[in-house]
Amino acid sequence: MLNTDDGLVIIMRTKHESIDIYSTKEGEDIASLMEDNNKGLILFTEHEYGCASHMAVSTIVDLETPVARVMTHLISNNVFNQTEEFEHIGWEMYFHKGYTFVNISRWPQTSIVPPEQAQSTWIHIYPPLRDLLDFCQKGGHTKLYFLSSTTIHDALDNDIFRLYESSEITEYDFKVKHEKRGDGNDLFFSPPTWLFPYFANLMDYDVSKAIISGNDTEVRVDKKAGMALMNWLETNLDVAGGEELLIKTAEHLQSLFDRSDEIRSEMQSIIPRNEPPKNSMLWG
């Protein structure tokens, strides 16, 4: 909350149940912006292997300048910050051409074993997920689209969950009852990919879909998958991106991966190796 010289009070934080939505610009009313941009809620994540949805959305909004950040005490943000590359926290929110975009940038590690740890993940993730969808619904949203890829199929039985080409797009409608296929074309979802549209359906959104590209297992920055999602957005929602912007983002992401590899290599070179002491009869 800010007090201006003329006595007006500007609200920088909007609280809704378990979440707080912080405006990044003075005077921006998030609730009003939501009402002006409720043609569809588009969710994506920057941490998915291949970076497909991250690249697709980067051609539409400036990911460096979110309009707001969604935060909650239930999701950990372990950040050791610095002045060189200051890292912000929270789920970033953007508005463009009547649509609301949200970057699910932090998601708790989901464990299956032990069961107690999996239960803990659910306890922490359900309230903010529910409350974000509720807040958007109160702002007039009735359509939700989660952008993702099939990268998780790489670790599964491909006789059941096949490897899709990067350029392939599959629309999974959570409002339709689906039977197990068993023909090799079944889908396996990461937790955020299915939870958001699943609960959007339970909350009576008119549209609740996962839009899923294929993936290339050999690359960490999958430009073809990003292009496929970008083209889907333009064709189906009339939200246009641009190939040049996508290529620029891909090059930037690749440079980050390369730098990470260099740092990891440097660290490994200075870590002392466990070698047997000379002339020791007790080793081994």
pLDDT at position 112 is: 58
List the structure tokens of 249: 């983002």
For residues 68 and 196, give the distance between their C-alpha atoms in angstroms, rounded to a whole number: 19
Parallel, antiparallel or unpaired: strands 91-96 and 68-71: antiparallel
Predicted structure pTM score: 0.87
Residues 171, 197: contact at Cβ < 8 Å? no
Confidence (pLDDT) at 216: 94
pLDDT at 62: 94
Measured in residues, the chain has a length of 284
Q: Answer whether residue 44 shows pLDDT above 80.
A: yes
Distance, in Å, from the CA atom of 229 to the CA atom of 202, rounded to the nearest integer, reads 25
pLDDT tens string 65-86? 999 999 999 887 777 788 777 8
pLDDT band at 275 (very low <50, low <70, confident <90, very high): low
pLDDT score of 59 more than 60: yes
**Residues whose CB falls within 8 Å of the CB of residue 278, separated by 6 or more in sequence, listed in order:** none
* Nearest to 168, CA basis, from 211, 218, 220: 211
Averaged over 219-242, what is the pLDDT? 95
pLDDT of residue 284: 37
Task: Give me the chain's average pLDDT, please.
Answer: 87
Q: Give Cα 89 distance to the centre of its chain.
A: 13
Of residues 273 and 191, the one with the higher pLDDT is 191
pLDDT tier, 134 (very low <50, low <70, confident <90, very high otherwise): very high
Q: What is the pLDDT of residue 280?
A: 47
Mean local confidence (pLDDT), 2-6: 48
Which residues lie closer than 8 Å to 58 by C-beta, 6 or more apart? 245, 246, 249
Q: Which of 23-32, 54-63, 125-134, 225-234 has the lowest mean pLDDT?
A: 23-32
SS3 96: strand
Tokens read off for 237: 């929602």
SS3 category, 72: coil
Q: Which residue has the higher pLDDT, 14 or 276?
A: 14
Q: CA 159 from chain center: how many Å?
A: 28
Q: What's the pLDDT score for residue 113? A: 61
